[in-house]
Structure 1
Amino acid sequence: MKKNGILNSHISEVLSRLGHTDTIVIADCGLPIPEETIRIDLSLNLGTPSFIETLQVVLADMAVEKVTLAHEIKELNPEVEDQVTNLVNGVPIDYITHEELKVLSKQAKAVIRTGEATPYANIILHAGVIF
């Protein structure tokens, strides 16, 4: 049995296969996920697990060089935006429209769906390198 890090085997596998600049998405429960994209569905009920809780766990196990958020989060979910900004701790943040985020999500190696039920709680994580 794994002792440290992410216990979810699907997330662990996706992270171990990422190369520099590959992306994954952590999404609220409403983001459309294309059929061809790997879906890791963690949602249990509304709010569980939360977007922030999931992001914290993934950030602890993934080298991230940049993140992408929707512009709309600034006005419609500023609490979550503030939490994200604190969690990424200086990692550059790009802002695009929510529609653009949905298009870019199609290129992600996987989308991790949470139970989050607040607006625009979606993030694209761009893989960095550890050397």
Structure 2
Amino acid sequence: MLKNIPSILSPELLKILMEMGHGDEIVIADGNFPAASLAQRLVRLDGHGAVGVLEAVLKLMPLDIYVEKPAALMQVVAGDTVETPIWDEYASIIKTSGEKFDGFEHIDRFDFYDRAKEAYAVVATGEKALYANIILKKGVVA
């Protein structure tokens, strides 16, 4: 047991966060995301929502300050009328974390899948909100 580590972070996810280097990306995926078929490294946190996972990850992992937008979302597919209030929660979490944040990059669904294939890891959550997938680019600890 360790102190001050959010309990939502599994030993496997902690190891992955430690292994990641500057510029590596991690996907926090909702329950509908095809995580198993896309991930190079898959971490299952099915019993948890993406909001809690994002909060916990940002307690340990810095975002890349050398890119314009170190956080990316899957944009809503044209014609889909779904609301995305979780995006506001994500923005609030990132701002509260103290990380540089100037809005999200929005990526087409299939381009998002392609980028997820290249990510260092994908965290599969049980998040039920639609379009709740987020990619984070790791920065450096100054």
TM norm structure 2: 0.81
Which residue number in structure 2 is paired with residue 68 of structure 1?
Answer: 72
- Is the Cα–Cα contact under 8 Å of residues 38 and 110 in structure 1 kept in the other structure? yes
Aligned residues: 126
State the SS of the aligned residue for 2:60.
coil
In structure 1, the gaps of 5 or more residues are: none
Correspondence for 2:42 among 28, 39, 43: 39
Q: Is the 8 A contact 2:73 2:135 kept in 1?
A: yes
- The match for 2:88 is 82
Deviation at 1:35, TM superposition (A): 5.8
Structure 1 stretches of 4+ with a deviation exceeding 2 A read: 33-36, 75-78
Name the one with the larger strand percent: 1
Q: TM-score under structure 1 normalisation?
A: 0.87
Percent identical pairs in the alignment equals 29
Deviation at 1:67, TM superposition (A): 0.5
Measured in 2, the distance between the counterparts of 1:64 and 1:41 equals: 22
User: What is the aligned-residue RMSD (CA, Å)?
Assistant: 1.8
Q: CA 1:108–1:69 in 2, change beyond 3 Å: closer, same or farther?
A: same
